[in-house]
């Protein structure tokens, strides 16, 4: 019995030892796995540290090279400034220091620049730079041969080292959804594995999204049956929802979208319809054409009111561009632009003759800034004509590019005209700041007048010279013919040296013409003129064309197919301040002109 008990105890002891050995083996294996994982993590961290060190070393090397280049550019800039200072005060025969380059950008009409000429345009040209045709950027014919490489100049976009404007503020855009983002599986210590606690503050990021939501609104029109025999069994039905014209199934917001896409953004209607069909909304082209024809009639009162207001101004910009009307006997028409300080009017006509200016400005008194088109020259003396210096300068610039014998002569004139822009801009800044009195103003005015007088004496003296080149004489005679209009700005600081405002206002029509080739019929061309007039007038007055056109269509829907009897709420000059705030442009939108 005792031997059996001893044997049993021995077996139990060996079993216990075997279990302990197995447990120790498992623990040892787990420790080995943990050690291997730790070694792999350490190796990964070391590799990451090495990569980070290499990245920072590369960045240090790049910054050292950039710093060296910036120091060289700064030295060249200081030398260039010193050279200009000598040129301005007393003059100098010293050449521009070696390695210093003056960038030129000759902006021709049609470019979307600010009201004042850019700093590049106002710099006095350097002779060596001007003598290299490849260094001059221009849209003029002959500025660069077809096989000639483009000149290397300042790269486009924000330059390295310059301070940016930061992220665009979009606080006016509503937040539609807030999504909470967490680290998958939570966050814990990489050494001991203890979990982190979540903080109440979050680090927020945002994404701007666009949702195209095509939908229908179903109006359930209640029907009523009589419960008496007084009028028989006639059933009455609730009236249909307000709509732009009878029987249309297209809502006002969609009509606004179609109008804005084409006549503000220049997108052809067919392209817009394809985009809507991708979103699941097929629309027949004929339906849209029929609706636009009715819209053209609805806009007539607004168009006429804006035109009448523009005629009552005292300062205008004007320009014109070609337009096509394909069902007319003569396909090529003209789209005229006449803009006062607070509105813009577009007029479609078959002719580029004096008829349109004569009709529009009949009985008006003021100043008209435009190019040298003969149609404007026929206006009565009550309209003072101010001619564009950019067009005048273009005559000289063409000679500089195309007539080698006149290159030096043209270069001198370009420098003189550039100085004119500098002096006029100095005076214009004072005028805009409300400082058109005092010694500073008088000095700026005197410098400008003296320079203009010097230009006059220059072309007068050159016209007396014998054996002038034919094209040289034409350019000088142009100064003689247009001098009164070229110098209107001296007595009226409102008048700029250029007609860039009109060029910018007509640019949208040019883009639309290039994208859609023009209009299929005259009524369509008239619709173009009317919507361009409305959109640009509202934008000039910092009003939202989308919202205002929708509001106008909603008012028209009260009498489907007919314009409202009162349109004063849609004219900026008769609109209440509260309504202007209601329909103000969103922050960041840049108005034209």
Per DSSP, the residues of 191-207 read TT-PBPPPPSS------
237 Cβ neighbours under 8 A, 6+ residues apart: 221, 222, 223, 224
Q: Name beta bridge partners: 332.
A: 324
| 147 compared with 510, residue with greater pLDDT | 510
Domains: count for the chain: 2
**Structural domain of residue 346, as residue ranges?**
247-382+525-593
Three-state secondary-structure class, residue 282: coil
Residue 270 covered by a domain: yes
pTM: 0.71
Is residue 485 domain-resident?
yes
**Strands, E assignment, 201-269:** 223-224, 236-237
Query: pLDDT by residue (tens digit) across 249-282?
Result: 999 999 999 999 999 999 999 999 999 999 999 9
Residue at which a domain ends, from 463, 483, 498? 498
Gap between the Cα atoms of 175 and 408, Å rounded? 62
Q: What per-residue confidence (pLDDT) applies to 109?
A: 38
Query: Does residue 2 belong to any structural domain of this protein?
Result: no
Beta carbons of 531 and 263 less than 8 angstroms apart: yes
| Last residue within a domain, chosen from 452, 481, 498 | 498
Whether 554 maps to a domain, the answer reads yes
Q: Coil, helix or strand for 317?
A: strand
Is there a domain that residue 297 lies in? yes
The residue that leads in pLDDT, 80 or 534, is 534
- Predicted confidence at residue 139, as pLDDT, reads 38
Whether 130 and 425 have beta carbons less than 8 Å apart is answered as no
Indicate if 365 and 483 belong to the same structural domain.
no
Residue 34 placed within a domain = no
Residue with the larger pLDDT of the pair 527 and 114: 527
367 and 433 together in one domain: no
Residues 399 and 415 in one domain: yes
- Asked whether 98 and 389 are in contact (CB, 8 A), the reply is no
Residue 147 placed within a domain: no
Let me know whether 424 and 393 are in one domain.
Answer: yes
Among 197-211, 240-254, 481-495, name the one with the lowest average pLDDT: 197-211
pLDDT band, very low/low/confident/very high, at 221 (cuts 50, 70, 90):
very high
Residue 116 confidence (pLDDT) above 50:
no
**Has residue 282 been placed in a domain?**
yes
Residue 407 and residue 473 in one domain? yes
Of the listed ranges 269-278, 286-295, 429-438, 502-511, the one predicted with least confidence: 429-438
Same domain, 260 and 361: yes
Whether 136 shows a pLDDT value over 70: the answer reads: no
Cα 418 to Cα 412: distance, rounded to the nearest angstrom: 10
Residues 284 and 361 in one domain: yes
Cβ contact 291:298 at 8 Å: no
**Residue 515: pLDDT above 80?**
yes
Predicted confidence band at 5 (pLDDT cuts at 50, 70, 90)? low
Most confident of 199-208, 222-231, 517-526: 517-526
pLDDT score recorded for residue 482: 95
Q: Of 147-151, 202-206, 276-280, which range is least confident?
A: 147-151
Q: Which residue has the higher pLDDT, 98 or 173?
A: 173
């Amino acid at each position: 019995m005792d031997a059996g008990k001893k044997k049993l105890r021995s077996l139990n002891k060996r079993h216990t030892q075997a279990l302990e050995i197995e447990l120790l083996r498992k623990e040892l294996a787990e420790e080995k796995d943990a050690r291997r994982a730790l070694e792999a993590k350490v190796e990964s961290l070391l590799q990451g540290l090495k990569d980070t060190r290499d990245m920072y070393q590369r960045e240090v090397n790049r910054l050292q090279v950039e710093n060296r280049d910036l120091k060289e550019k700064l030295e060249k800039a200081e030398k260039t400034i010193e050279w200009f200072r000598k040129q301005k005060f007393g003059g100098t025969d010293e050449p521009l220091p070696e390695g210093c380059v003056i960038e030129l950008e000759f902006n021709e009409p049609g470019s979307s620049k600010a009201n004042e000429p850019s700093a590049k345009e106002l710099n006095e040209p350097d002779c060596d730079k001007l003598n290299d045709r490849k260094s001059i950027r221009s849209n003029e014919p002959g500025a660069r041969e077809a096989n000639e490489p483009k000149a290397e100049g300042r790269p486009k976009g924000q330059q390295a080292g310059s301070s940016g404007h930061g992220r665009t503020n979009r606080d006016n855009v509503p937040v539609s959804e807030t999504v909470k983002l967490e680290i998958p599986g939570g966050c814990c210590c990489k050494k001991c594995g203890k979990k982190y606690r979540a903080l109440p503050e979050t680090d927020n990021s945002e994404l701007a999204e666009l949702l195209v939501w095509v939908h229908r609104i179903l109006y359930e029109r209640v029907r009523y049956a009589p419960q008496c025999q007084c009028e028989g069994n006639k059933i009455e039905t609730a009236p249909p929802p307000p709509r732009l014209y009878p029987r249309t199934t297209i809502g006002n917001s969609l009509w606004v979208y179609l109008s804005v896409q084409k006549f503000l953004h220049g997108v052809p209607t067919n392209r817009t319809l394809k985009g809507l069909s991708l979103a699941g909304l097929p629309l027949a082209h004929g339906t849209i054409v029929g609706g636009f024809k009715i819209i053209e009639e609805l806009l007539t009162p607004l168009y006429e009111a804006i035109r009448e207001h523009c005629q009552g101004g005292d300062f205008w910009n004007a320009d014109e561009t070609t337009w096509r009307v394909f069902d007319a006997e003569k396909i090529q028409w003209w789209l005229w632009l006449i803009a006062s300080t607070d509105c813009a009017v577009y007029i479609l006509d078959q002719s580029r003759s004096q008829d349109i200016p004569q009709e529009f400005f009949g009985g008006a008194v003021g100043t008209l800034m435009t190019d040298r088109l003969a149609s404007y020259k026929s206006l009565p003396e009550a309209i003072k004509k101010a001619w564009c210096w950019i067009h005048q300068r273009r005559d000289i610039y063409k000679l500089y590019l195309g007539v080698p014998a006149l290159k030096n002569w043209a270069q001198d004139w370009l420098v003189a005209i550039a100085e004119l822009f500098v002096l006029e801009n100095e005076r214009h800044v004072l005028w805009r700041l409300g400082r058109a009195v005092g010694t500073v103003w008088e000095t700026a005015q005197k410098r400008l007048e003296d320079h203009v007088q010097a230009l006059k004496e220059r072309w007068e003296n050159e016209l007396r010279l014998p054996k002038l080149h034919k094209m040289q004489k034409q350019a000088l005679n142009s100064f003689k013919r247009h001098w009164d209009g070229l110098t209107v700005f001296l007595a009226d600081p409102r008048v700029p040296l250029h007609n860039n405002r009109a060029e910018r206002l007509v640019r949208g029509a040019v883009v639309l013409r290039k994208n859609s080739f023009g209009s299929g019929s005259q009524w369509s061309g008239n619709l173009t003129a009317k919507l361009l007039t409305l959109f640009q007038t509202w934008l000039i007055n910092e009003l939202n064309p989308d919202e205002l056109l929708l509001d106008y269509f909603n008012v028209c829907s009260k009498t489907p197919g007919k314009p409202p009897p009162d349109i004063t709420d849609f004219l900026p000059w008769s609109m209440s301040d509260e309504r202007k705030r209601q329909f103000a442009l969103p922050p960041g939108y840049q108005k034209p002109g």
